[in-house]
Each structure stands twice: as structure tokens, then as C-alpha cells.
Structure 1
């Protein structure tokens, strides 16, 4: 699978599976995310070692990972589905600050839903900080509904904030 999209700013973005040559580009993307993006994900910035460990731990039997790549910048977004034995998959994505609000998140989610349907995944689940209006908008656009709200005592990536569980039934 490999697709291309053109952003409103005229940049060509290639959507493709993550591969073993992507580590340096992932490090660049994750370690340069701004505080305004990180506030929905985690309490502190990513370190190179953390990104290396995340990359090393990708179990391609259970994890579907696609990236959005721009020729000059490198990887500008990543989406992962962690597949569970229950037939569901947990989905999450991030787009680098410089490339947000250009349709990249939507393209990643659309591709992930297509993959999930082909693979027979029955349900996709996303846990999203309830203040992350952009991600919530994207997931709702593709049919995800709020299944549950967890209060601020819920710990998402080390942060104590209210979280929404969004779900999309595919069966």
C-alpha cells in the first residue's frame, strides 16, 4: 500500500507502511513535536532513546503502522493500530505541528479504516484527551462515536486528564 496526497499548501505527502529504515525520520518527528501537540499525548517531550525503544518494540504481527512522509521533511505523521485477540484494534495517530490542519490525519485514519475492514477487525477504539478537538473531529467524521468518558483520574500516557473512548464498529 502506498498512496499520495496533495496538501492545501501544495506539498506532496506519501502514505505508506512503516519500515525498518524509518528510525531516523521518526526520531526527528517525535523529538520536535511542540508542547501544544504533546499536551494531548504525554507530560514531557520524547527523547531519542524513547523513540528508538518505541520503534524496536513494534510487533508487526500485532501492530499496523503507517506513516505520512514529505520528501524534504521526512515522516510528518504516524498512525498505529494495535490489534487485540478480541477482534478489536486500538488506534492512535500524531501529525507533526508543521503539517497539521492539512488533511494528513484524515488520510491516515481513512487508510487505517480500510486496512481494518480488509483484516476483519470488528471494532476500532481510540482513547483521546477530551480537549483534543481536532482528533475528535477527525474520528467523528469517519463514524466513531463516544462510547465512554473517563474522568481526570484516568492516566493517559502519564497525564491526569479526562479521556474519551471513541469507537467505530466495522462488523
Structure 2
């Protein structure tokens, strides 16, 4: 956990307040927040060639909706629009499908056009507007085949 926190803190140090607010709804994440997140979701940190953290992706089941998996994704500001988020979102989608997920769900600001485009590229989507936010659901059955291991959620 301590090593995870150090990586997450180093990652967040590279993110703007706007990016942090967009992803977390606040500008600071605490070790307790990370611990709670890791209790419910699988998370990975994407590292660059220099071993600096570039992205954080989390996937986990949506409570009371079997087969619906939540996606959380954030990429450091200076590496946006380089395909990192798309690659990690695809990997997360395959991970979720390999564990019995049929739908990937992401909740984001309706004004977050890059995230909405990314999600629409993953497969057939449905969008449900909720004020300034939108929930996007991606049907995982349309994903291109990839080697998957059918391991259920822990």
C-alpha cells in the first residue's frame, strides 16, 4: 500500500487541479481514499519509459448490477492525446470482460469531450445525461478478441 501511495502521489503531482477535479471531484486524494478504492476496484498505474507514472486506471463491479463494471481513468496533463488513455481503457475493458463483465460504465462531465470520444471508440455506447454529468455505458460483447482469462472478481 505504501509503495502504491507513493506512485499515486507522484502521478497526481503531475496533474493540474482541473484534471484532478474532473476525475476525483477534488484536488487532493488521501491514502485513505486510495485504500477505499483498492478495496473495491482493481487499479493500475501506467509508467513511462523513465518509470514516472503517466496514468491511473481502475475497474470494478458496480454495486447491485451484475456484469456492469465501472471504469475510472486519468492521464497526466502533458501526455493527453497520445493514445495512453485509449490503450488503458481497452485493456480495462478486456480485463472486465474476462471476469464476466458485459458492460463498462463511466461517469464523467458532459463537457469532457475527449473522454466521451474515447468511450465511443471502445464499442457501442449509450449515454444518459444527469445534469452536467453523463454516464456512458459500453457494450463489452463487441470488443475485438484478445487473450483473456476468465477469472471472476475477487
> TM range, normalised to the smaller chain?
0.7 to 0.9
Question: How far does the alpha carbon of each residue in 1:7-56 deviate from its partner, in whole angstroms, 9 at most, with x for none?
Answer: xxxxxxxxxxxx7633212101124311342342355421xxx3312322
2:59 is aligned with 1:81: yes
Measure, in 2, the Cα distance between the counterparts of 1:22 and 1:108.
Answer: 18
**Which 5+ residue runs of structure 2 have no aligned equivalent?**
142-154
Matched with 1:164 is 134
**CA 1:123/1:107 → structure 2, altered by over 3 Å: closer, same or farther?**
same
The equivalent of 2:35 in structure 1 is: 56
Q: 1:165 to 1:104 in 2, by over 3 A?
A: same
Q: Residue 68 of structure 1 contacts residue 76 of structure 1 at CA under 8 Å; is this kept in 2?
A: yes
Count of aligned residue pairs for this structure pair: 138
- Provide Cα deviations, 1:60-92, integer angstroms capped at 9, x if missing partner: xx4121221014352110111121352211111
1:98-119, CA deviations, whole angstroms, 9 ceiling, x for partnerless residues? 2111110001001011111111
Higher strand share: 1
> Contact 1:27/1:52 (CA < 8 Å) preserved in 2?
no
Distance 1:64 1:131, change over 3 A: same
Mapped to 2, the partners of 1:98 and 1:118 lie a distance apart of 32
Task: Say whether the 8 Å CA contact 1:127–1:164 is kept in structure 2.
Answer: yes
Runs of 4+ displaced beyond 4 Å: none
Structure 1 residues not aligned, in runs of 5+: 1-18, 152-161
